[in-house]
A and B are shown apart, each in its own frame.
Chain A
Amino acid sequence: MYTITKRGLLHFVAAGLLGAVGFGHTALAADYPTGPITMLVGYGAGGQTDLVARATAKVMAGELGVPINVVNKPGAGGAVAARDIAKAKPDGYTMLFHSNSVINSAPFIMEQVNYTPEDFEYAGMITAYQVGMATQKDRPFNTITEYVDWAKKNPGSSYGALSPEARLYITEIAKQNGLDVNIVPLKSGSEMINALLGNQVALAFSGGIHYRYPDELKTVSALTTFRHTSAPDVPTIEEEGYPLGMDSRTTLILPKGTPRPILDRLAGALKAAETDAEFAKITEAANIPIKYFGVDAANKEMRDSYAKNKGIMQRAGLISN
């Protein structure tokens, strides 16, 4: 069965030498990968990001021919996992699958987080979050402009917010239009859905899970720079004259200094998810649009969105520098 080729022999010798020195799988980038890969997820098991991560890991493991172990490492919205990645060996065997918001907006919001896009390498992006504002189907407004008119006539209405960004949107809109809105703090997406379905709040910030309730809820605005696949008729917040669109995408994040061939290899495997039927089935059921970016596109998106979000936060007075 086995024919000894020069190349095979070289591999054998190289592996032997490396093995002798004691490096397990830190072989040459050209051989990558030779062993199992650890994929950290910065949220707990059971969330949307975890779900996409596991589906992605399955496709990529098939492409790369090695197992990919998904490890949940929740904490501070993914900042704990990102810190681990920043310290990990840049050999391509440890990576983080997470929303890029941990790098392009968390540093402006959390005191302890100071990442910049330069602190990591990116092997691509695969899905986008359909962040938006949602309300009950029978509310008499369908856009932000109509909401502003309604809120002027109904002072003291409630808005559900589960993150600093969520508060930023409503404070900016309220400031510009002189609205009187009560901001109700919410802890999680399911609390947000509870508040909407139970008619507790008139409007709420949603990370996209409100699309699961097409009979009860509707989208008022897309808080992204693109219109949502699940609601193509709803204008973005930028189209309505507020330059506040902030995009977040699930991104493969690797330690600084990971060799480019490894990033390309991972990006190639990630691309397979774009057309994978099972992956599509899962993301479709969860209303998550697939938007693949390769290494270069992901790098550009990271830097652009970081600069843009920084501008938005500065104008809103959240950060000074």
Chain B
Amino acid sequence: MSDLLIGFQDVLHPATLIWVAVGVTLGYVLGALPGLGKATGVAVCIPLTFYLGPVAALGMLIGIAKGSAAGSAVSAILLNTPGEPSSAPTALDGYPLARQGKAQKALKMGLFASVIGDFVSTLVLICLAAPLARYALLIGPVEICTILLFSLTFIGGLSGNSMTKGLIAGAMGVFFATIGLESETFVSRMTFGLLELEDGIALVPMAIGMLAVAEMAVQAGNVKVLDSEGARITDGASRNDRVVLASEWRRCLPVIARGTLIGSVVGILPGLGASVGSFLSYGATRKASKTPEKYGTGMIEGVAAAESADNAVVPSSLIPLFALGIPGSVIAAILIAAFILHGLTPGPLMFQQQPRLVADVYAAMLCASVILLIVGYTGQRLFAQVIKAPLRLIIPGVLLLCTVGAYMETSSVFSIYVMLFFTVIGFFARKLDFSFVTFLIGFVIGPNLELSFRQSLQLLDHNAMNLSKHPIAVVFILLTVAIVWWIGRGKGPAAGERHASAGQTPEKHVPTNS
């Protein structure tokens, strides 16, 4: 604890604090711009880290991660173009809210949920990093496999108006994720001789095409309607539409708490990632709700659930890094490089050898949470004006940013083709009312499920009886069976929804939300 106080003394120095603020601001702005996100921010900042001191460099990188996770909610809410897949659930309810003239309310809720999730998860990291990481190691491929299987049942809850279409979309997601080198025999699957496909379809360009560009295409076909509607949205006519009311706080706080918990747990576990966190949190909130059919039409809880989990994943994915030296996410891998760059070896030894540096980084992370609140609150007023701009001005800009974002990660034009390919799929998914959220779930979970299943087969020595040594896995298998049975009996959330959702005005023109 005394270390942490010294850490704050070090970080609250203007020369350090300014870099943390630069990181958060950059991350937030990049996240808020559709198509750009973490990947872009990190690419911009890696060269900079060479010239900064270790605390400033690490603070800036962590700031980018936190900022972009929160910022991606902005484009999801205002334009229905989530910059990263983890914000796709945010758009489900955030965009309808924005079209109802409650953009500022949704943005604020998203930001508060992000900051709370982020701050609490950071505290978890600081207090419990070492013991939690040790415990997380007990979760091996066998357990992960069953957890992923369980997560797949959420397709049932998120598949929109038709369960069958939701399942088809989910299966398509799994299918596209099988492209690339197979992990055991190293046979290329469906690459058609294209070297670029050996590593599979990259998540970022796929998600940009599917979520952002396709949405722009649909909106372009609807310009007149949307614009005349946009003109009528008198943003902030009543104060109740601009701020988060006390009653909404009461409804959202448990949701945020659950989202933070889910996000933190997902972050610690290897191989799940931010998207799984926000999908799970959104799905769980909907399941727990008394009115699941209202989700997708502008429920503020939906925004809170997705955003709190999305941001809670960021600090907790650093737990394996700090406690064990294992990168749990892309940002963590980059942070390892930044540590090594300054001659430090990440891992348990760091606590003994560099307690002051660890304390500094912790303090920087807590400061970043607070800065995020300030930056986000100020930035939102500016970003919220976007909703009044006519689409003919917005669409070209968004397309440009999307193209840049798709290109950035791999520096390759091929990624832009991937983006365009999935734009076509995303366009038809929207027109034919197939859920792209279940597609994403399939795409993200499918390959991990396959790999962990193959790993489990080997680890269990090809003998199902060995499962008895993995009680956690058995619990999740039983849960999965129970939920499938529950959905199959028609009591699942998707069943009641067939009658809902068509009545809302904003939904009629944008049949995109599943």
Please list the residues of chain A having a beta carbon within 8 angstroms of any beta carbon in chain B.
Answer: 44-47, 50-51, 54-55, 58, 70-77, 79-80, 83, 109-113, 156, 158, 164, 182-187, 190-191, 193-195, 197-201, 212-215, 281-282, 284-286
Contact = CB atoms under 8 A, between A and B. Distances in A.
Given A46-B337, A111-B188, A194-B326, 14 more contacts: A51-B337, A71-B411, A72-B410, A73-B410, A75-B195, A80-B198, A80-B412, A112-B191, A158-B458, A183-B184, A183-B458, A186-B455, A198-B139, A215-B348
A112 B198 CA distance: 9
A158 B71 CA distance: 43
15 contacts: A44-B330, A46-B42, A50-B337, A51-B341, A75-B198, A80-B196, A111-B188, A112-B194, A112-B195, A164-B186, A183-B184, A183-B458, A194-B137, A194-B320, A200-B140
B390 interface: no
A170 to B, nearest CB: 12
Given A54-B47, A182-B458, A194-B270, A76 B140 contact: no
Contact of B46 (A54, A194, A281): A54
B195 A79 contact: yes
A110 B411 contact: no
A164 B188 CA distance: 13
Contact of B140 (A111, A185, A195, A213): A195
A58 B138 CA distance: 41
A158 B340 contact: no
A47 B47 contact: no
A74 B325 contact: no
B333 A190 contact: yes
A184 B333 contact: no
Nearest to B182: A185
Interface of B: 42-43, 46-47, 50, 137-141, 181, 183-184, 186, 188, 191, 193-196, 198-199, 270-271, 320, 324-328, 330, 333-334, 336-337, 339-341, 343-349, 409-412, 451, 454-455, 458-459, 461-462
A109 B186 contact: yes
Given A109-B186, A215-B349, A75 B410 contact: yes
Nearest to A45: B46
Contacts of B328: 190
A311 B191 CA distance: 28
A215 B454 CA distance: 30
Contacts of A184: 141, 455, 458-459
B183 A190 contact: no
Contact of B451 (A58, A187, A190, A197): A187
A190 B195 contact: no
Contacts of A110: 186, 188, 198
Nearest to A79: B195
Nearest to A181: B458
Contacts of A194: 137, 270, 320, 326
A282 B341 contact: yes
A262 to B, nearest CB: 23
B13 to A, nearest CB: 24
A76 B195 contact: yes
B325 A45 contact: no
A156 B333 CA distance: 33
A179 to B, nearest CB: 14
B133 to A, nearest CB: 9
Contacts of A55: 341
Contact of A185 (B184, B337, B339, B409): B184
A75 B181 CA distance: 11
A46 B47 contact: no
Contacts of A193: 324-326
A200 to B, nearest CB: 5
A51 B324 CA distance: 20
Residue in B137, B138, B193 with the greatest tally of chain A CB atoms within 10 Å: B137
Contact of A156 (B324, B340, B461): B461
Contact of B345 (A46, A47, A185, A285): A285
Contact of A286 (B43, B186, B340): B340
B195 A200 contact: no
A73 B326 contact: no
B348 A80 contact: no
Contacts of A70: 47
A191 B333 contact: no
Contacts of A72: 43, 410-411
Contacts of A51: 337, 340-341
A50 B337 CA distance: 9
Q: Name, among A51, A184, A201, the residue most crowded by chain B CB atoms within 10 Å (CB to CB).
A: A184
A75 to B, nearest CB: 6
A282 B461 CA distance: 41
Contacts of A191: 270-271
Contacts of B346: 212
A187 B452 CA distance: 10
Closest 8 CB pairs of A and B: A76-B198, A198-B137, A46-B333, A46-B334, A182-B458, A185-B183, A156-B461, A184-B458
Given A158-B459, A185-B183, A185-B184, A285 B270 contact: no
A213 B323 CA distance: 12
A213 B195 contact: no
Given A79-B198, A113-B195, A54 B270 contact: no
Contacts of B334: 45-46
A51 B334 CA distance: 9
Residue with the greatest number of chain B CB neighbours at <10 A, chosen from A83, A185, A187, A213: A185
B49 to A, nearest CB: 9
B195 A46 contact: no
A78 to B, nearest CB: 10
Contacts of B459: 158, 182, 184, 200-201
User: Which of A46, A70, A80 has the largest count of B CB atoms less than 10 A from its CB?
Assistant: A46
A76 B188 CA distance: 11
B196 A190 contact: no
Contacts of B183: 185, 187
Contacts of A190: 270, 326-328, 333
Contacts of B141: 184, 195, 200
A83 B414 CA distance: 14
Contacts of B43: 45, 72
A2 to B, nearest CB: 32
B412 A75 contact: yes
B461 A112 contact: no
A309 to B, nearest CB: 16
A93 B46 CA distance: 22
Contacts of B270: 190-191, 194
A106 to B, nearest CB: 10
Nearest to A214: B349
A47 B462 CA distance: 34
Contacts of B451: 185, 187
A214 B462 CA distance: 33
Nearest to A209: B325
Contacts of A212: 325, 345-347
